[in-house]
Amino acid sequence: MPRTSPRTGRGPAAAACALLLLLAAAATGCSSDAQPAAIPTAGPAPEGPLGNRIGPLFVDNTDGMRACTAAVVHSRSRNLLITAAHCAAPGGTPLDGLVFAPGYRGQRAPYGSWPITEVLVDPRWGSDESEGYDVAFLLVGPLNGRQIEDTMGAYTLATGLGFGLDVTVTGYPNSAASPITCEGRTTSRSTTQQRFDCAGFTNGTSGSPWVTAQGQVVGVIGGYQQGGNSPEVSYSVVFGDRLADLYRQAGG
């Protein structure tokens, strides 16, 4: 399913429509040398604390447009999410009004709707959306006096682990009432890009975390082709030194 990137039009209304259409586009993957795709697990993602650290991002509120997927990662301030930069800063401009709904299922947000207060991306992401920097960290405002990590727990973030990692990827397709989840192994596309083969990761799954059995996030759907252009193969930026620097700036 090809990704679209509308960038035409002038004025506030046209810009808003283009931006929402951009957010709605898929984070998927495609390659002429694609390996046989894995089959995603039917039904919702794991119901325990780990699965509930993942949720969709919405524009304005949970009645608004559903955009991408994000996940809670540990930080000193206990208020940090990770997603793809093209979700949170399309064209290099951070979005206002995003909210996060961890554990979202069946049009319900059982753990509340958490406001995003700040978007952090590598300055090299920029207006040309350089694929090697397609990762964003989001600072989350408190809800009912609590930080999100204190409520939901958090994954850890790991860099420099290389390829060939067994991971579970969970994402929120815009067309589905519940998330999908799939297990597989990461492979190399290049020195800066990694891939994950599994069908079903369609519109809305940009930013989906790649999580090891140790609870480490080692990738998010994005990067090459902004995650890819078909549902069977997805991509991520390789998590290395430059991401570690951004994570430290975000308070990790």
Least confident span in 36-45, 64-73, 185-194: 36-45
Q: Is the pLDDT at 5 greater than 70, yes or no?
A: no
Q: Is the pLDDT at 1 greater than 60, yes or no?
A: no
Q: Is the pLDDT at 252 greater than 90, yes or no?
A: no
Taking CA atoms, 150 is separated from 71, 76, 96, 142, 252, in Å, by 14, 11, 24, 10, 15
Residue 175 lies in a domain: yes
pLDDT for the residue numbered 34: 34
Q: Is the pLDDT at 201 greater than 50, yes or no?
A: yes
DSSP designation for 134? -
Taking CA atoms, 22 is separated from 65, 71, 111, 171, in Å, by 12, 20, 27, 18
- Edge-to-edge strand ranges of the sheet holding 193-197: 187-188, 193-197, 233-237
Residue 190 lies in a domain: yes
Say which CATH number the domain at 57 has: 2.40.10.10
Q: In the chain, how many domains are there?
A: 1
Q: Rounded to whole angstroms, how far apart are CA atoms 52 and 72?
A: 9
Residue 2 lies in a domain: no
Residue ranges making up the domain that contains 104: 28-249
Q: Rounded to whole angstroms, how far apart are CA atoms 136 and 119?
A: 7
Q: What average pLDDT does the segment 118-130 reach?
A: 95
Total Cβ atoms within 10 A of residue 97:
11
Sequence letter at residue 222 = G
Residue 7 lies in a domain: no
Residue 1 lies in a domain: no
Residue 9 lies in a domain: no
Higher pLDDT, 218 or 52: 218
Residue 10 lies in a domain: no
Residue 20 lies in a domain: no
Query: At 44, is the pLDDT very low, low, confident or very high (cuts 50, 70, 90)?
Result: very low
Query: At 73, is the pLDDT very low, low, confident or very high (cuts 50, 70, 90)?
Result: very high
Per the prediction, the chain carries an average pLDDT of 82
pLDDT for the residue numbered 88: 96
